[in-house]
């Protein structure tokens, strides 16, 4: 469960805290995909390059679910635009699953992984992101894993991701 304030990289030329600083194992691992420094949540780490490449390859279209906390009054039109694809400057996003949870929170599920994509999508339709948290990656749920903690995947979870 990546905390805010950590970069998702194996090393950082600027000396910032990185997610590997949170790992207390004698094994070399690296992140599968990225979460920006200001996003918290589910991040997979591995020592298996084939597994990592498969999970990151766009052709597999693995869903990633985020909870967006905002202080913006989100309209039906904003939701529809997010669902149908948004021009984020250098790219038009594919369709997304977007649900309003309550007045402050949205659920956004995408299967792409463009740089800061969810933040840029929200910004493009006028939604200010106050907090962003990834809660699901494919069949995996973050659940109640405490921030800055990690756990090993079960054999079934690895099997499910490989499927």
**End-to-end CA, the chain:** 23
Distances (CA, A) of 162 to 57, 60, 139: 12, 10, 10
Residue from 36, 63, 102, 155 carrying the catalytic annotation:
36
Sorted by sequence, the CB contacts under 8 Å of residue 113 that are 6+ apart come out as 33, 34, 56, 58, 64
| DSSP-based three-state secondary structure for 30 | strand
In angstroms, the CA 62 to CA 55 distance is: 7
> Distance between alpha carbon 5 and the CA centroid of its chain, in Å?
15
Annotation says 26 is catalytic:
no
Query: 112-115 long-range contacts, Cβ below 8 Å, gap at least 24?
Result: 112/58, 113/33, 113/34, 113/56, 113/58, 113/64, 114/88, 115/34, 115/36
Active-site residue set: 36
């Amino acid at each position: 469960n990546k905390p805010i304030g950590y970069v998702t990289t194996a090393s950082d030329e600027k000396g910032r805290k990185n997610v590997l600083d949170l790992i207390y194992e004698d094994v070399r691992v690296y992140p599968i995909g990225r979460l920006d420094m200001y996003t918290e949540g589910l991040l997979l780490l591995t020592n298996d390059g084939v597994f990592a490449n498969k999970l990151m390859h766009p052709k597999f279209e693995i869903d990633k679910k985020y909870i967006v906390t905002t202080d913006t009054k989100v309209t039906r039109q904003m939701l529809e635009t997010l669902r149908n694809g948004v021009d984020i400057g250098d790219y038009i996003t594919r369709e997304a699953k977007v649900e309003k949870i309550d007045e402050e929170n949205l659920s956004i599920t995408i299967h792409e992984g463009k740089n800061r994509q969810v933040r840029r999508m929200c910004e493009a339709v006028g939604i200010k992101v106050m907090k962003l948290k990834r809660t699901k990656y494919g069949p995996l749920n973050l659940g109640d894993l405490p921030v800055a903690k990690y756990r090993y995947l079960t054999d079934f979870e690895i099997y499910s991701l490989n499927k």
